[in-house]
């Protein structure tokens, strides 16, 4: 059995929070450059050019790409033959977030209670999803989520009779309603199946899949292509100011579900779609 000290988790999460707030991941960078090439509306091009300059300034001067540096969402895929030593894993993750948001000059956007709303002043706690897998490694994904786009996300509990057309309508409705609020050009994460909470997690997880890697399920891949075309014919465009690049990508994840149900979750993300991934 392999051992890893939780202090290594803390230091990696700290670095990943800072990295994700200042630099696009490789896949998002390629998608963004393609958007710049393909947009044709005048205001749309102007918005993309501002966003391009913004990315350059962010990286060179270490100013966060967006002032909303998000609530830290952390996916932990933990090999079952790995043993954590040196303390509480969950505390170690939150300590990484705490240090990253402080040392990286990132905004503290978390309140301790949804009604009382007192800022925790260190951006903790993170939202953590654990998954036990085979092996003796841990794969960490840090995906800090801003709420301009999070607020525009939706869950639809469809009926089996609604079928794939129902799924398409759900996704297009969520994107249309999000419009300019979600800082387009956006990335759309979709979860289909499972239960109420499972499909929401699938949608979130879908956003962390490289945007240039389509689903390996043939009908899902086709659905991703069709929906991206239809989203980009809505005319919302960069910044919602008109154009053909409303979304840069749509990633769909599926899971088994109940005979009576067809849950669909649509997690909208902005053009930054922060995610940093490391395997230890």
Partner 1 sequence: MDKHINVPFSKEEAKKLKIGEYVYLSGTIYTARDAAHKRMDEALNNEEELPFNIEGNIIYYMGPSPAREGRPIGSAGPTTASRMDKYTPRLLDMGMIGMVGKGKRTDAVKDAVIRNGAVYFAAVGGAGALLSKAIISSEVIAYDDLGTEAIRKLEIKDFPVIVVMDSEGNDLYKAVTAGMQKRI
The residues binding partner 1 (CB under 8 A) are 41-43, 46-47, 50-51, 53-55, 57-58, 61-69, 105-109, 117, 119, 121, 148, 151, 176, 179-181, 183, 234-237, 239-243, 270-272
Give the DSSP letter string of 130-155. EEEESSS-EEEEE--B-HHHHTT-EE
Nearest distance, CB of residue 119 and partner 1, angstroms: 5
CB of 180 to partner 1, least distance (A): 5
Nearer to partner 1, 167 or 182 (CB): 182
Separation of alpha carbons 135 and 1, rounded Å: 10
Least distance between partner 1 and beta carbon 215 (Å) = 26
Cβ of residue 43: shortest distance to partner 1, in angstroms?
5
Residue with tokens 């009604």: 115
Report, in Å, the least distance between residue 41 CB and partner 1.
6
Smallest gap, in angstroms, from Cβ of residue 98 to partner 1?
Answer: 14
Cβ proximity to partner 1: between 76 and 183 the closer is 183
Q: Which is nearer to partner 1, 105 or 196 (CB)?
A: 105
Instruction: Give whichever of 272 and 276 is closer to partner 1, judged by the CB atom.
Output: 272
Question: Least CB distance from residue 182 to partner 1, whole Å?
Answer: 8
DSSP string, the chain: -EEEEHHHHHHHHHHHHHHHHHS--HHHHHHHHHHHHH--SHHHHHHHHHHHHHHHHHHHHT--SSS---BPEEEEEEETTEEEESS-HHHHHHHHHHHHHHHTT-----BSSTTT--B-SS-PPPEEEEEEESSS-EEEEE--B-HHHHTT-EEEEE-GGGHHHHHHHHHHHHHHHHGGGG-SSEEEEEEEEE-HHHHHHHHHHHHHS-TTS--SSHHHHHHHHHHHHHHTTS---GGGSS-S-SEEEEEEEEEEE-TT-EEEEEEEE-SS---EEEE-
Using the minimum distance from each CB to partner 1, give the nearer residue, 163 or 235: 235
Handedness of CA 80, 84, 87, 89 (dihedral sign): negative
| Nearest to partner 1 of 53, 81 (CB atom) | 53
Question: With contact defined as beta carbons under 8 Å apart, do 72 and 126 qualify?
Answer: yes
Q: In the complex with partner 1, which residue's Cβ is closer, 41 or 257?
A: 41
Q: Which is nearer to partner 1, 169 or 181 (CB)?
A: 181
Min CB(94)–partner 1 separation in Å: 19
């Amino acid at each position: 059995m392999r051992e890893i000290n939780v202090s290594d988790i803390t230091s990696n999460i700290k670095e990943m929070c800072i990295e994700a707030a200042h630099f696009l991941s490789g896949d998002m960078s390629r998608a963004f450059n393609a958007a710049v090439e393909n947009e044709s509306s005048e205001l749309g091009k102007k918005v993309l050019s501002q966003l391009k300059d913004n990315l350059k300034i962010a990286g060179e001067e270490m100013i966060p790409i967006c002032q909303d540096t998000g609530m830290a969402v952390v996916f932990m895929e933990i090999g079952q033959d790995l043993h954590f030593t040196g303390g509480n894993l969950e505390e170690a993750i939150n300590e990484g977030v705490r240090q990253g948001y402080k040392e990286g000059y990132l905004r503290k956007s978390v309140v301790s209670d949804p009604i009382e709303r007192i800022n925790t002043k260190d951006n903790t706690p993170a939202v953590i999803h654990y998954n036990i897998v085979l092996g003796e490694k841990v794969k960490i994904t840090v995906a800090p989520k801003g709420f301009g786009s999070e607020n525009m996300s939706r869950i639809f509990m469809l009926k089996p009779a609604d079928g794939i057309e129902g799924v398409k309508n759900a996704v297009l409705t969520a994107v249309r309603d999000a419009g300019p609020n979600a800082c387009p050009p956006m990335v759309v994460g979709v979860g289909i199946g499972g239960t109420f909470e499972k499909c929401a997690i699938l949608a979130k997880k879908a956003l962390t899949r490289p945007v240039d890697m389509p689903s390996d399920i043939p009908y899902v891949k086709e659905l991703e292509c069709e929906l991206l075309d239809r989203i980009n014919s809505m005319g919302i465009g960069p910044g919602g100011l008109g154009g053909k690049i409303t979304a840069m990508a749509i990633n769909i994840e599926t899971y088994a579900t109940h005979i009576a149900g067809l849950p669909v979750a649509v997690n909208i993300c902005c053009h930054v779609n922060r995610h940093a991934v490391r395997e230890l």
